[in-house]
A = this chain, B = another copy of it.
Amino acid sequence: MRLDIHVIAMAHPADMSGLEDRIASGEIAPDTIICILGKTEGNGNVNDFTRGYATLAFKHALGNALGLPPAEIGNRVALIMSGGTEGVMSPHCTVFCRIDDGARGQAGRPRLAAGISFTRDFAPEEIGRAAQIEATALAVRDAMADAGITRAQDVHFVQIKCPLLTAERVHDARKRGHDVATEDTYTSMAYSRGASALGVALALGEIVAPVDDRAVCRDAGLFSARASTSAGIELMRNEIMVLGNSDLWSGDLVIGHDVMDDAIDLAAIQRALRMVGIDPAAPSAHIAGQVVAILAKAEASRSGLVRGQRHIMWDDSDIHATRHARAAVAAVLAACVGKTHVYVSGGAEHQGPDGGGPVAVIARTG
């Protein structure tokens, strides 16, 4: 069993040509796909419909390829679209294929492993609260089991797609007599991401006690060093993919991670590169050849400072803070790995320390 990864450029959110070409050529067997992680070119915020657009296109493309109704695709493939490709970041998708080739992993030679799971649909009033945290923690453990990973320390990245509140969903909760975590639709994305990340932290033992509703988006001391959560309008449940190393898996890919302390923490990225055997001082083109994917979270620090100097990300009413932060972090990552097919998703509430976030690198071994 091995995990194959295909990074495919997209000319627009519904551009299926790269995927369809690889399926046509036999390079990708569609029934092996367990997850597609997309970086689409919307604003990454409430009214980013590029995520839903890409999701719809993937459902139809995979439905065609598999001879299944589009509506069934969501039950077998985690389609996780993250909006926002600010600055140099290039729109693309990363296709994760689980190849059951009978090959066995070797003890002491752990290789990239993946598992997926879904929670139930949440009610609007559950988003950003304990109900979402707990359901997520259970689902993360399911995904670990699916990946054949038993130790939390072997998990290096947990990607989650989670829902947000719209004016209509708030209204719906109110009509049924419930309040919601926040009535600001943009802010609801932060609450949903934060609760989801706390679910990961709980599942991986990074925090221990149960978490109160009031800690969400307030107690920055609680965080996961491996969670990456992204909110979208197009779903009401959490969709989860766990990535780690396991010696049950074969192949030539490994994953490592580190935590960026702030948005310009070059040293953390270099440590993550070294963890998967790459010399960060090597020529840019060489590193670009070895790195298959780099995944990180970006966030404007709540302190209003980076290295003690003021940033304007929270006070800019024209461009949301998540967009500023993604542009910045993606450029630093791209400069380190020599390519712009980097995956940076915004809003790192409870994902790494304030203003920082996890960074994971998947690379070819030797």
Contact = CB atoms under 8 A, between A and B. Distances in A.
A364 interface: no
Contacts of A186: 317
Interface stretch (A11-19, A95-103, A125-133, A149-157): A11-19
B317 A14 contact: no
A246 interface: no
Given A331-B328, A334-B264, A335-B266, A167 B87 contact: no
Contacts of A12: 49, 52, 233
A344 to B, nearest CB: 11
A317 B317 contact: no
A107 interface: no
A312 B39 CA distance: 12
Contacts of A88: 263-264, 306, 311, 328
Copies of this protein in the complex = 4
A311 B309 CA distance: 29
Interface in A310-352: 310-320, 323-325, 327-332, 334-336, 338-341
A74 to B, nearest CB: 14
A46 interface: yes
Contacts of A50: 49, 53
Contacts of A52: 12-14, 53
Contact of A327 (B185, B324, B340): B324
Given A46-B316, A47-B317, A316-B46, A309 B341 contact: yes
Interface of A: 9, 11-14, 41-43, 45-50, 52-53, 56-57, 60, 70, 85-92, 166-168, 171, 184-187, 233, 263-267, 281, 284, 288, 303-304, 306-307, 309-320, 323-325, 327-332, 334-336, 338-341
25 contacts: A11-B168, A41-B47, A41-B316, A45-B317, A45-B318, A60-B70, A85-B311, A85-B312, A87-B311, A87-B324, A87-B325, A89-B311, A92-B309, A166-B315, A167-B304, A185-B315, A266-B284, A307-B339, A307-B340, A309-B341, A318-B318, A319-B319, A319-B323, A328-B328, A328-B331
Given A56-B57, A87-B313, A318-B318, 5 more contacts: A9-B310, A13-B53, A50-B53, A86-B324, A90-B311
